[in-house]
Every structure is written in C-alpha cells, then in structure tokens.
Amino acid sequence: MRTPAVPGGALSLPSLRKNTTVHVTLMSPRARTRSARAVAAVGAGGLLLSGCGTGSTVSSGNYTTASLRAKLPKAVRAAGVLKIGSNLNYAPVDFKDQNSTPAGIDPELAAAIGGYLGLRVQFVDMPFDKLIPAVQAKQIDLAMSAVIDTQQRQNGTDDNGRRSNPGVDFIDYLITGTSILVKAGNPLGIGSLDDICGHTVAVQRGTIQDEIAQRQTAACQKTSKGLRIDELDADGQALAEVASGAAAADLNDYPVAAYNTQSGNGGGQFQLTGGQLEPGPYGITLNKADSALRDVLAKALDQLIHDGDYGKILTKWNVSPGAVQGAVVNGGL
C-alpha cells in the first residue's frame, strides 16, 4: 500500500501520477505472500512491540566501519554504492519530498546503514510488485519498501505450499500491522473485516493487504454478502476511492494509515477503525545468494540500533512503538 503525500503537504492522489522508474543517489549522513491463519489484532492506537518469528538474531557488539566494510562482497565494496529498490509513494515509510528526493523511514535508515559501511545509497523507484522479482534477478542489491517478511516470501511458496519462485531473505527492522481506513465519520459503521462484506475494499496490488482482502472473500460468501476488491497500482488511488465513496475502506500498514489521518496529510477525510490485523516485520529484502551482504547489513543495522541512531529516526517519524530490539534475519511468520 502506498501514498504520495509529503510531510506538511496536502494529500496528493496518484491517479494523476505514473509509477516511473527514477534513479536518485543519497549520500549517507555518516561517511507482502502470507499463509492463511488466524487474524491477530491489536489496538488501533499503537504499533506492535512483540517479536514475530524464529529467525536468527544478530549478536550485539561494536562493529567498526573498517571491520564491516572489509566483510562486504568485493563487487559492492568496489562500486561504493548500494542500489536499493523502493516504491516511493508510501509516506511516511518511503516517498519523494518536494525536491523529488527519496525521504521517509526507509531512505533515512538506509543512508544511516550505508554510513557504517562507507557506502552511498541509490534508490530506484519501481512498482511494489516488481521489487522481489528485481531482487531475485539481481537488478538491484536489495529492496527497502515496507516489504513484510513472511515465510512464504522467504520460501517462494503460494498459499498451498507450492514453490513458485526462489524466495528471498529478510533483515527485520520494524514491526507493524494492517489497519482499516474509512471515510471520516465512518458512515457505514465499519469496525472489522466482517463489516466490509457487501461492500468494496480498495487495496494496492501485490501487498499483504491484497492477500488479507482475498481471504476475506470466503468469509463474506458465507454471509451471502459478496466482497468486491479493487486492486490498484498505488495506495493513493485506494484513498481516492474511499474519499469519493467508491470503496468502503482501504487496507494499509498502520504507519501509513495513521499518517493519512493527520492534519496536512489528508486529515479530515479519513479515520482509522478497528484494531491492527496480522502483525509482522518490515524486512530489508535480499537475494538468497547474497548471504555475505545480508550478514554485513544485519550487523550494521544492529550497530545502528545499539548506538541510538535507529531510535532517533523512528522517533522523528512517530513509529517508535514498532522498534525492534536487534537485527533479526528471516524472523517473519
């Protein structure tokens, strides 16, 4: 799910904007397929604090820039840059500011991680559903774009357990859940997924929210109230449908849903309802063959957490309750 709003600016609806591929370089400041299961919900007022999976935790310690850089793959070290895929219209996680420069939680964390490694970070804007294939094809070094770490994505399997792609590895860095966003005043009285039966729900194609909506169709059929799903290229298009009344609700990640209720970011048009659904971690997404790069990035993230710079970035973007205690590889369920 994505939205192109920028801090302090009016909500911009991307039905008027294309997902073009751009290359933007940032200098470091220092140098969504899940298996069907029970829906977990938490209060709508905050993010999630609990851990998620059984992945390996990176041992804490003091890593110097020199020691980490020495462990980088030679090709990355020689290039001096990390090429990062992202769908840059999902404020406050990743978006473009007024100067078309990557901004938000992911770009700032990426730049800080790059600082420990003496690397620049270069963001490549691309559609969300192209990110994992691009990682697998090694068109980019990694993806950072609010990609939820799940075992299905790790294993490259579908809901029936059939392997459909090589899978990817994750380094988990923020915990979140899915929220239901409705028109201000909640005219249809929606408070849960069951309440969207008989209506239209808008989602971004290829996301965890798309999968949640697809599974909800079976529950709605049992009540003889069908559910229509509008799968869209960007979350801003989903917001536009809710604002116009074409859709009863939009499903997206809590940080983004909450952001779009704030003054200046569409505040007054939308509100949250119900609790968060299916908590899970955002993960830095890497090719499974790039285990050396994965391990170095995990140690750099762990150092960022222990030094306090990680916490400062999360505080700036009002997502501190979703902080992880340390870097975890493949911790998603």
Helix or strand (DSSP H, E) at 271? strand 270-286
Could you give the CA distance from residue 268 to residue 274 in angstroms, rounded to a whole number?
Answer: 18
Rounded Cα gap, residues 137 and 216, in angstroms = 32
Give residue limits of the domains in the chain: 14-32+54-176+282-329, 178-278
| Contact indicator for 238, 178 with CB cutoff of 8 Å | no
Superfamily of the domain at 178-278: Periplasmic binding protein-like II (3.40.190.10)
d(CA 86, CA 185): 33
Same fold: 14-32+54-176+282-329 with 178-278: yes
- How far apart CA 89 and CA 146 sit, in angstroms, is 11
207 vs 317: CA distance, rounded Å:
22
Neighbours of 143 (CB within 10 A): 27
Label residue 149 by pLDDT band (50, 70, 90).
Answer: very high
Pick the CATH number of 14-32+54-176+282-329 from 3.40.190.10, 2.170.120.40, 3.80.10.10, 1.20.1250.20: 3.40.190.10
SS3 of residue 283 by DSSP: strand
Please classify residue 194 by burial: count the beta carbons closer than 10 Å to its beta carbon, then call 0-12 exposed, 13-18 middle and 19+ buried.
Answer: middle
| pLDDT confidence tier of residue 120, bands split at 50, 70 and 90 | very high
Q: How many CB atoms lie within 10 A of CB 138?
A: 11
Residue 156 reports pLDDT greater than 60:
yes
| Mean pLDDT on 51-76 | 73
Q: How confident is the model at residue 267 (pLDDT cuts 50, 70, 90)?
A: low
**One-letter amino acid identity for 46?**
G
Which amino acid type is present at position 132? Answer: I
* Average pLDDT for 31-45: 36
For residue 40, the SS3 value is coil
> What pLDDT is attached to residue 9?
32
Distance CA 312, CA 318 (A): 10
- Of 172, 178, 207, the C-alpha closest to 51 is 172
| Amino acid letter, residue 59 | S
pLDDT attached to residue 278: 87
Provide mean pLDDT across the span 279-301.
Answer: 97
Q: Which residue has the tokens 């069951």?
A: 194
Which is more confidently placed, 7 or 168?
168
Burial of 185 (0-12, 13-18, 19+ CB in 10 A): exposed
Over residues 135-150, mean pLDDT: 97
CA 180 to chain centre: 16
Question: What is the pTM assigned to this prediction?
Answer: 0.74
Give the C-alpha separation, 157 to 160, whole Å: 8
Measured over the CA atoms of residue 145, residue 64, residue 29 and residue 134, the dihedral's sign is: negative
pLDDT band at 6 (very low <50, low <70, confident <90, very high): very low
